[in-house]
Amino acid sequence: MENKKVSKKIIEGLKAEESKKQIEAIDDIRKDGNVTYLPYLADLYVTSNSTEIKDKISAVFQDIKHTDGVQTIVSLLKNTSNKDLRSMLLTACWSSSLDFSKYLIDFVDIALECDYLVTFEVVTVVENFENIPPLDDLDQAIGRLRGAVGSQHSSKRELLLDLLHALEDFRNNG
């Protein structure tokens, strides 16, 4: 997917009442490969009650290959309070094979702010980084985690310790 101009027809399809038109629009986006549509897809994901539509949107996010999609996904992650959308976006992060390592601090902040399940997904994303995050980011993230671990419930604390160990491994092996 890459950044291009949006089609009015596709936007209208996403906003249509009929799921058939929404699915056609999603399929067009998948073929077109335009990351500019990702926020529109995220909105539809939140408002739709259709499992088929949500699955199709999730597949689009997981198939993103263009690096412009990384910043958009991280922005959507940081700006949503919808648990289902956040979970889908985190799954897309570790399954898309894009490099999210320069957003390590954002992932650590999400892990610290959110519940156990989100923290688990963040740990999965970080452990699957193919590139080592910048050293300054690693040091900052490690410091934040060390400062926050003690105030967490035991199950989340264990996950944050797993995340901390993964970051220390990155720093020691980088």
Given a cut of 80, is residue 28 above it in pLDDT? Answer: yes
Evaluate whether 110 touches 163 at the Cβ level (below 8 Å). Answer: no
Q: Each residue of 99-123: pLDDT tens digit?
A: 999 999 999 999 999 999 999 999 9
Which pTM does this prediction carry? 0.90
The more confident residue out of 3 and 81 is 81
Q: What is the pLDDT of residues 118-155, one digit of tens each?
A: 999 999 999 989 899 999 999 999 999 999 988 887 88
Task: Inform me whether the pLDDT recorded for 92 exceeds 90.
Answer: yes
Q: Two tokens at 36?
A: 């500019």
Q: Which spans in 49-134 are helix H?
A: 51-62, 68-78, 83-95, 104-113, 116-127
Q: How far apart are CA 57 and CA 174, in angstroms?
A: 35
pLDDT at 2: 47
